[in-house]
Structure 1
């Protein structure tokens, strides 16, 4: 296991280097000249030449990318075109907000998804089970950029019970709508996976043996069914961690939450290439680390799993 973790950690810089190379290439050679973005309306050949010299845009591609990699390793992601601040400072001021939103969405997903999926499995074939399956399918299918405005319309414009947008911290009413918007697809996915896992486990011999001993249904469910049935949820958890940054980009932008997703969302429209590069690398690194943690958790939860 230790060798496997070391190999995965050694692969992480390679993955980030490839992601950085692709993003850097698209930013440099894609639509929109970085020099024109910096100059705005004050655009003439002399000004362009000065800007290119100042930002190193007149250098060969390999020198530009190599210099960026060296600076990024030292924690220097450059200066934002839009905010005129160090990108590292922008990330540091916003990453905590994004983590709070992701935490709220994950808590909702597990607190609601696991009980709903378990109950549906025990009620297999009933209208409750069919309703759960249909609702979960709807929750997985509807995109967050559609779900967010719908929830906002219902709870802020019609019912007037929740704030429209903004951010006041983890324990405020303003987090409810964005957390629910981000969490509903995760709730649906966990409910479906929990139902499938529980249906498979409750037919196992050790569950029948536990019931034959006269153990209460609650004890059988918590100690035997869920303990073994929830292991496959680790895979769903890893996929969720990968999907959350993409969903947060839209949700934070829509609800005006000052997180990394909102920063990335605004930087795309402003063609703020240093911020786009940095946020892409942060999201890629979080995804790689999350999947490594999931693999480790798998081996701890099920000793039969061995990595080589």
Structure 2
């Protein structure tokens, strides 16, 4: 298993540098000039060039990339160029990442626990009314966009029931998390629920399941020890792939509900062409994706040792 993980890590090194360099190039060649945003459209050309030289933005792009990555690996994420001039990017990004990470982790946990549970119940009741009913409910919530869901939930929970505040953030143990968590969770249940249902139904139709039942094993033992173990493999992959999309999906919800996460900061950075903030957020998303790919591979090999054996034989 150690060799398998090391091989995966080695593959991720070039992937990291290729994607990060591509992102760096996109920020530099994107329309707009952060120096004009910082100095103002009426600034003297000499002032603009002096600021550009101070920030080393007049150097060749490969040299800029090497300088940025050198600072990145030593903990220096640079300074805000245009939106918050002179402010260290780390001071702007890390507190907001912490907020988005809390919300994203709880949302992801709820999505796959509830979605998986609904899928299991639907599969075990295949051919009964519970199966189409549960999946239809999930699809109904999936069809409601966030821009519609948030006002509806605000009307119900804030104006009618007076259970939660209208906006803001006080951590995951505050009532303020209820509305953004519901907006995150309810529309996303359909995917995991349908995946678990279809996978479990396919597994239950396998010969080894029929063999286990013919040996007199209880239904609980057949499902818990044999069927679910194999049905969890596709779910593990989807969890790993969904993590970054959960953080990306949080942008709109954070902006609507007034949560101080990376959503508002990302939008501000893009509008202001603030290179270092954009790069820091992109690097965070990339590292998050790669780390969870490794964790997914580890969980895969724990659930199904055949994956580890097949990899070692190649």
Question: TM-score, normalising length from structure 2?
Answer: 0.87
Q: Distance in 2 between matches of 1:60 and 1:146?
A: 46
Q: How does 1:63-142 map to 2 (within 5 A)?
A: 63-80=63-80, 81-83=82-84, 84-140=86-142, 142=144
1:293 corresponds to: 295
Q: How does 1:17-56 map to 2 (within 5 A)?
A: 17-40=17-40, 43-56=43-56
Q: Tell me the matched-pair count.
A: 308
2:157 corresponds to: 155
Q: Distance in 2 between matches of 1:240 and 1:6?
A: 24
Deviations 1:168-207, CA, capped at 9 Å, x for gaps: 0110111112122222344221111110122122233444
Structural RMSD (CA): 2.4
Q: Distance in 2 between matches of 1:6 and 1:227?
A: 25
Q: Distance in 2 between matches of 1:186 and 1:298?
A: 23
Q: Distance in 2 between matches of 1:215 and 1:11?
A: 43
Q: Distance in 1 between matches of 2:213 and 2:79?
A: 64
Instruction: Give the unaligned 5+ runs of structure 1.
Output: none
Say whether 1:10 aligns with 2:10.
yes
**Closer/same/farther in 2, CA of residues 119 and 173 from structure 1, 3 Å limit:** same
Residue 231 of structure 1 aligns to a residue whose secondary structure is: helix
Residue 76 of structure 2 aligns to a residue whose secondary structure is: coil
Please say if residues 28 and 34 of structure 1, whose CA atoms lie closer than 8 Å, have aligned partners that are also in contact: no
Please say if residues 144 and 247 of structure 1, whose CA atoms lie closer than 8 Å, have aligned partners that are also in contact: no
How far 1:139 sits from its partner (Å)? 4.5
Higher deviation after alignment, 132-141 or 107-116: 132-141
How far 1:114 sits from its partner (Å)? 1.8
Q: How does 1:138-217 map to 2 (within 5 A)?
A: 138-140=140-142, 142-157=144-159, 159-211=161-213, 217=219
How far 1:78 sits from its partner (Å)? 0.9
1:267 corresponds to: 269
Q: Distance in 2 between matches of 1:288 and 1:139?
A: 30
**Closer/same/farther in 2, CA of residues 235 and 146 from structure 1, 3 Å limit:** farther
